[in-house]
Amino acid sequence: MSPDPDHPWEATATFNPAALYLKGKVYILYRALSSDFVSSVGLAISSDGYTVDERLEEPIYIPRFDFEKKTREGSHYTGVEDPRVTIIDNEIYMTYTAVSDTLPYVRVALTRIRVKDFLRERWDRWRRPFLISEPAIWDKDGVFFRVRDGLYLFFHRIDPDMWVSFYHNKAPEKEGWKLGIPFYKHGKTPWESVKVGLGAPPILTEEGWLLIYHGIGADWKYRAGAMLLDEESPWNVEATTEFPILEPEAPYEREGLSKNVVFPTGVVQLGDELFVYYGAADTHVAVATVNLDDILSELVLRRK
């Protein structure tokens, strides 16, 4: 999927998508960048995971509050960036990076909508967003998910490492923002020597939680890797891939608003295949597939 010059709200870039599988279809919630550099969330729908069957004419989520709005002409890059989604008790939880031109830092915000309202395209039913990350700290790449009743995790990135914050309630606004602790640090391999960050939300498998993440090396290329997390304590990393599973090779991954970027943000499982949706060169939406058993086998061999 590429920018649509006929729609000013998505004329500059379409990238870094979240993904959901509902009622036999893949819903792709992508970051759309307007001609004046405001990000919102668009929606495309696919029946097979590859082909876009429907693409909505208007965004499904737009900047609404001061912490994510453009307040002066000429400022660049404000709005709702890089959504990730998970489902908890028939509600879709969407985290995103909230960017304003009034603050010198960005934070992660969380909103949610009932699945039935989402399927009915009742975009007025999105909950008021809650800033889940700590003030005055540059924080990105967040996802909120349930491990079990009474334990919910917020994965996020405070440069240059991946952090986890712990919650006991599926309504995190009742507990407020929490800084948390780092659980995976950069520098383990050359391709992630500069920094690491969350990619797509983790999925639970028979071997534990599978997490697709991104890393940046000294060459400033963005690549994707995979890690296996403990099922009961997902902040414990059991194994990681030694080499990246995806890196910029195609022209649309090497050239765009940014150079040499594959940035995974959404994942769904269709049969035995894992569909990884990612932003390519900060301009396009792309998808890569891998056999789930193959990637798990590689990680199990490397388990500590």
User: pLDDT digit string (tens) for 114-131?
Assistant: 999 999 999 999 999 999
Q: List pLDDT tens digits, range 217-232.
A: 999 999 999 999 999 9
Coil/strand/helix, residue 9: helix
| pLDDT for res 73 | 79
Q: Write the single-letter amino acid at 8.
A: P
Q: List pLDDT tens digits, range 44-80.
A: 999 999 999 999 999 999 999 999 999 887 778 999 9
| pLDDT for res 150 | 96
Q: List pLDDT tens digits, range 226-250.
A: 999 999 999 999 999 999 999 999 9
Residue 240: other Cβ atoms inside 10 A: 20
Ordered strands of the 151-158 beta sheet? 140-148, 151-158, 161-167, 181-184
Distances (CA, A) of 91 to 86, 116, 126, 147, 187: 8, 8, 10, 16, 36
Average pLDDT over residues 147-170: 97
Instruction: Classify domain 8-301 by CATH architecture.
Output: 5 Propeller (2.115)
| Domains of the chain by residue range | 8-301
- pLDDT tops 90 at residue 32: yes
Give me the chain's average pLDDT, please: 97
Share of the chain above pLDDT 70, in %: 100
Q: CA nearest 38: which of 83, 97, 80? A: 80
DSSP state of 116: H
Q: Write the single-letter amino acid at 283.
A: T
Q: List pLDDT tens digits, range 282-295.
A: 999 999 999 999 99
Peptide bond into 160 cis (omega under 30): yes
Count Cβ atoms within 10 A of the Cβ of residue 3 and give its class: 0-12 exposed, 13-18 middle, 19 or more buried.
buried
| pLDDT for res 290 | 97
Q: Tell me the residue ranges of DSSP E strands in the chain.
A: 13-22, 25-33, 38-46, 54-55, 78-88, 91-99, 107-114, 130-131, 140-148, 151-158, 161-167, 181-184, 195-198, 203-205, 208-216, 222-229, 237-240, 262-270, 273-280, 284-291
Picking from 14-23, 74-83, 201-210, which range would have the lowest pLDDT averaged per residue?
Answer: 74-83
For residue 91, the cross-strand partners are 88, 114
Q: Which two tokens stand for residue 262?
A: 């594959």
| pLDDT for res 71 | 85
Place of tokens 């876009």: 52
| pLDDT for res 76 | 83
Reading phi first (left if > 0) and then psi (alpha if -120 to 50, else beta), residue 143 is in: beta
CA distance 283 to 15: 6
Q: Going by C-beta distance under 8 Å and a sequence separation of 6 or more, which residues neighbour residue 238?
A: 208, 227, 228, 229, 230, 299, 303, 304
Q: Which two tokens stand for residue 218?
A: 């000294």
- pLDDT tops 90 at residue 258: yes
Q: List pLDDT tens digits, range 173-208.
A: 999 999 999 999 999 999 999 999 999 999 999 999
| pLDDT for res 75 | 72
Average pLDDT over residues 27-32: 98
CA distance 209 to 49: 22
Residue 174: other Cβ atoms inside 10 A: 10
